[in-house]
Amino acid sequence: MMYSKVLRVEPTRESTRVLLEYYGKEPSPGQFVGLVFPGESEIPLGVTDYKEGELELYVDSERLVQYLRKMSRVIVEGPFGKPVEIRGNVMGIAVGRLYHDLLYPLRIAKRKGYQASLNCESCTDEFQRPSQEVRWDLILASVPLEFIKTLPRNTLVYVRWVKMNCMMGVCGVCNVKGFLPCVEGPFMEVEKVVDKG
């Protein structure tokens, strides 16, 4: 747990980008952090980027955005969750602003020299749409629960529809079919979280 200086809180077309000064353990692709508001709450947020002491997050809650605008520093916990290994070309599948969940793994793939594409209507120009000619070594998705059955079997899906209270697997609130997304995720194999039948 550490105090981080709030560097920027800036609106984007569909969300709010938050940039924090951060000198804790470097997050790996697929991990998340918790913003701690003592006596109030702890809020898990997916890491969207990390570069040389700066942590980027996207916030959808207007209440949280207003709170961050007033703060000069916040408490950051983590990183939490199981990292996603980037060892080849990565394709992302997302709906709307859920594409934020995929940004860090896609950016790391791109920085490592792999192909990184995003299948998401009107999301971002940062990544091209996937090509049929590319062999995708990893498929990541962040979609509403009702779309999960449409994903390819080998997809890792961001489990965002469960509440992650303790973020360490102790409370069990995030349990999905015997798996704990706060520890074993937040990206988990589709077949672990849904019946494809």
Considering the domain architecture, whether residues 113 and 138 belong to the same structural domain is answered as: yes
What is the per-residue pLDDT across 86-141, written as a single tens digit (0 to 9) for each?
999 999 999 999 999 999 999 999 999 999 999 998 788 899 999 888 999 999 99
Number of structural domains the chain divides into: 2
Is residue 85, in this structure, part of any structural domain at all? no
Considering the domain architecture, whether residues 9 and 98 belong to the same structural domain is answered as: no
CA 78 to mean position of chain CA atoms = 13
Is residue 107, in this structure, part of any structural domain at all? yes
What pTM was computed for the model?
Answer: 0.92
The angle formed by the CA atoms of residues 38, 40 and 43, to the nearest 5 degrees, is 90
Check pLDDT > 80 for residue 196: no
Task: With beta carbons less than 8 A apart as the criterion, state whether 114 and 86 touch.
Answer: yes
User: Counting every residue, how long is the chain?
Assistant: 197
Considering the domain architecture, whether residues 96 and 179 belong to the same structural domain is answered as: yes
State which residues form the domain around 46: 2-80
Rounded-to-integer distance, Cα 116 and Cα 51, Å: 18
What is the per-residue pLDDT across 44-58, written as a single tens digit (0 to 9) for each?
999 999 998 999 999
CA atoms within a 13 Å half-sphere pointing along the CA-CB vector of 59: 25
Strand partners, 190: none
Share of residues in the chain with pLDDT > 70 (%)? 98
Considering the domain architecture, whether residues 34 and 118 belong to the same structural domain is answered as: no
Considering the domain architecture, whether residues 13 and 60 belong to the same structural domain is answered as: yes
Considering the domain architecture, whether residues 14 and 56 belong to the same structural domain is answered as: yes
Task: With beta carbons less than 8 A apart as the criterion, state whether 63 and 18 touch.
Answer: no
**Residue 195 binned pLDDT confidence (cut-offs 50, 70, 90):** low
What is the per-residue pLDDT across 164-178, written as a single tens digit (0 to 9) for each?
888 888 888 888 888
Considering the domain architecture, whether residues 186 and 95 belong to the same structural domain is answered as: yes
Mean pLDDT, rounded, of the chain:
92
**In the prediction, which pLDDT does 156 show?**
97
Considering the domain architecture, whether residues 43 and 108 belong to the same structural domain is answered as: no
**In the prediction, which pLDDT does 18 show?**
98
**Residue 19 binned pLDDT confidence (cut-offs 50, 70, 90):** very high
Sequence-separated (6 or more) residues with CB below 8 Å from residue 70? none
Considering the domain architecture, whether residues 38 and 74 belong to the same structural domain is answered as: yes
Is residue 178, in this structure, part of any structural domain at all? yes
- Of 72, 68, 118, 75, the C-alpha closest to 98 is 118
Considering the domain architecture, whether residues 95 and 188 belong to the same structural domain is answered as: yes
What is the per-residue pLDDT across 65-93, written as a single tens digit (0 to 9) for each?
999 999 999 999 999 999 999 999 999 99
Instruction: Using the structure block, give the residue that is written with the tokens 């353990």.
Output: 25
